[in-house]
Chains A and B, each alone.
Chain A
Amino acid sequence: MSNVTLRNVRKTYPGGVEAIKGIDFAVDDGQFCVLVGPSGCGKSTLLRMVAGLETITKGEIDIGGRVVNDIEPADRDIAMVFQNYALYPHMSVYNNMAYGLRNRGMPKPEIDTRVREAARILEIGALLERKPRQLSGGQRQRVAMGRAIVRQPKVFLFDEPLSNLDAKLRIAMRVEIRKLQRRLNTTSIYVTHDQLEAMTLADILVVMNGGMVEQIGNPLEVYRKPASTFVASFIGAPPMNLITLDADEIRAQFSGDARANTEAGILGIRPEDLLISTEAAASGGLSLDLVVDAIERVGAETFVYGARARHGEPAISARPGELPPGEVIVRVPGQNAPAVGERIMVTAPRERLHLFSADGRRRIDL
């Protein structure tokens, strides 16, 4: 059994920075857990605490039924893949992989078997005698993986292992990591800030924000039912449209529902759930009049940016990276899209609407 359990884990750095503010979650044996969140939210800190590279200020970390708070990294039965790979520059690929095993006093023939097996799986058999500097980024990445595999640990820890690769290789390696993890069936914790990586790799997704867990769950579940506006805008690209429920014409659509009327303050609709249509949505659904102000074609799909027509307010960007108030993104499959300046109506059925409390911290299920 190699499950990982975190119980009310906290971390305060010596300088007084409170990086982790009480986190609980459990990863079952063989599961692939992805920690995702914006930069500085404490993902690396948390992972390094599991690895034993960072002390635990409070709480407990349990690996395979053993509290590891005071156990050295080498004795925790984990292996870690670093963002910059951290290969020993003066050792050959073979020695990079064998080093940890030698330190544990493993007999030579067994080391050799393990290294060659890992090299075969990762297809780096021809590179064993090379030094890291003679390898490409992708090959280094594989060696770093190899170093983790040969240890046959209870838990793999990955800290943004793909972020130094180019886009194409990143996708290829992403698939490969997933396959490898399935094949070895080793519990894994993987840190990334790329929501696509998070969605595709995870068995369980942990969305973090400001040192706390915002939501935990199956990735599709998180996508379907984001627990807060933070999760809603973080998971899914382009992000979910969030509209303040101040305008009466929108609020009126929920007239039948008391909770929606009283508690809800923000309405969310994913760009892919909006449909350009000529007739208003069925009762309870949402209809918006938009004036198209920009079009982005990426081939398989087209993103239509529209300003809410009846609002009439000018589109001013609120914060960098955020849509201006009143701006709505619509995802249209294919390449057919309305022209810029055109007036369109978009609709979404009731079951695709998300409601959040006015502060955005709570989801309201109808």
Chain B
Amino acid sequence: MVERQGIRGLVAHLILWVGIAVVAFPVYLAFVASTQDAASIANGQMSLLPGGHFLETYTRTIFVGTSGSTREPVGVMLFNSLVMALVIALGKIAISILSAYAIVYFRFPFRMWIFWMIFITLMLPVEVRIYPTYKIAADLNMLDSYAGLTLPLIASATATLLFRQFFMTVPDELLEASRIDGAGPLRFFWDTLLPLSRTNIAALFVILFIYGWNQYLWPLLITTRDDMQTIVIGIRKMITTSDALTEWPMVMATAVLAMLPPVLVVIVMQRLFVHGLVETEK
């Protein structure tokens, strides 16, 4: 490309590279910081090349935790975050695909009414309904539990809408052929609709996993116990007001660790898409 478009291509590439550098540099810096010793960061003499404390910092971060502010190792936080992100992503997909199935394929009273109800909840993100949601979670004894972390975030209008639109593009004849082939509603869902939705499910999973992983406000409210903390909250708590007490290498190591699972999910899913393991079949 560069050869063919000459100078203009070169300029375009240059701009792109600058863009990448701007985005990637802080990430690189975080990694570098996580491999240096705390003192050199604190007094502002951090080198731009990785230091020699990689293994030491990361083992301590994952298995021991910081000495002061949070008493849990980051491994626990990672686990909590993972549970939360997975349950939210899978739960959202399961609930929304089922409700979309009901709305598209079954005639029941107030069908459209229910659909619009779901649709309207789109306008009420967690932050808007946070007080009543918290109240309910507290009354149901869900504080400091995985149920409390995940259940209130599972209902999903966006995903329902997405599946509804997809189901409407599936030809009616497939349902009719299934009926003639003796497949009841559940069989049709399981044998035909679900496999056809694989691409949508995979794409949604990526989005929803990251959504769940990055939750901040809700876990902050619902968890008080240290062993229920998610990693995003953990990072926040590691940073104490006095700069000197903050163990910056470990904070940075935690930040790097917090980035890894979402990146991994994207890469793995990307592979699946590229290798045609999940592909559109229509």
Contacts and interface: CB of A to CB of B under 8 A. Distances in A.
B282 A74 contact: no
Contacts of A74: 179-183
Interface in A62-90: 72-75, 78-80, 82, 84, 86-90
B180 A100 contact: yes
A50 B181 CA distance: 15
Contact of A90 (B182, B183, B281): B281
Contacts of A52: 179-180
Contact of A88 (B176, B179, B180, B192): B192
A89 to B, nearest CB: 4
Q: Which of A52, A79, A88, A131 gathers most chain B CB within 10 Å? A: A88
A251 to B, nearest CB: 53
Contacts of A48: 176
Contacts of B192: 88, 90
A78 B174 contact: no
Contacts of A84: 171, 173
B52 interface: no
B191 interface: yes
Contact of B176 (A53, A89, A99, A103): A53
Given A86-B171, A90-B196, A133-B281, A79 B180 contact: yes
Interface string B153-179: 000000000000000000101101101
B9 interface: no
Given A86-B173, A88-B192, A73 B180 contact: yes
A46 interface: no
Contacts of A183: none
Interface of chain B, main secondary structure = helix
A100 B180 CA distance: 8
A99 B179 CA distance: 11
Given A88-B192, A90-B196, A103 B187 contact: yes
A104 interface: yes
Contacts of A80: 176-177, 180
B171 A51 contact: no
Contact of B195 (A82, A90, A100): A90
A100 B281 contact: no
Contacts of B177: 80, 82, 86-88, 147
Contact of B182 (A86, A89, A104, A147): A104
B179 to A, nearest CB: 5
Interface string A82-126: 101011111000000001100110000000000000000000000
A88 B177 CA distance: 9
Contact of B183 (A82, A89, A103, A133): A103
Nearest to A76: B180
Contacts of A86: 171, 173-174, 176-177
Contacts of B176: 48, 51, 53, 73, 80, 82, 86
Nearest to A72: B179
Interface in B230-254: none
Given A86-B171, A89-B282, A103 B179 contact: no
B173 A82 contact: yes
Contacts of B183: 74, 99, 103
Contacts of A131: 281
A73 B179 contact: yes
B173 A99 contact: no
Contacts of B181: 74, 99-100, 103, 147
A84 B182 CA distance: 20
B196 A100 contact: no
B8 to A, nearest CB: 40
A184 B98 CA distance: 42
Nearest to A82: B173
A290 B77 CA distance: 96
B179 A53 contact: yes
Contacts of B182: 74-75, 100, 103-104
A88 B171 CA distance: 10
Nearest to A103: B182
A89 B187 contact: no
B278 to A, nearest CB: 11
A72 B182 CA distance: 9
Contacts of A78: 180
A82 to B, nearest CB: 5
A49 to B, nearest CB: 13
A104 B181 CA distance: 8
Given A99-B191, A131-B281, A89 B179 contact: no
A105 to B, nearest CB: 9
Contacts of B281: 89-90, 131, 133
A266 to B, nearest CB: 41
B242 to A, nearest CB: 59
A119 B187 CA distance: 25
A48 B179 CA distance: 12
Contacts of A133: 281
Given A72-B179, A74-B182, A103-B183, 4 more contacts: A51-B176, A53-B176, A53-B179, A99-B191
15 contacts: A48-B176, A51-B176, A53-B179, A74-B181, A80-B177, A88-B174, A88-B177, A88-B192, A90-B192, A90-B196, A90-B281, A103-B183, A104-B182, A133-B281, A147-B181
Interface of A: 48, 51-53, 72-75, 78-80, 82, 84, 86-90, 99-100, 103-104, 131, 133, 147
Interface of B: 171, 173-174, 176-177, 179-183, 187, 191-192, 195-196, 281-282
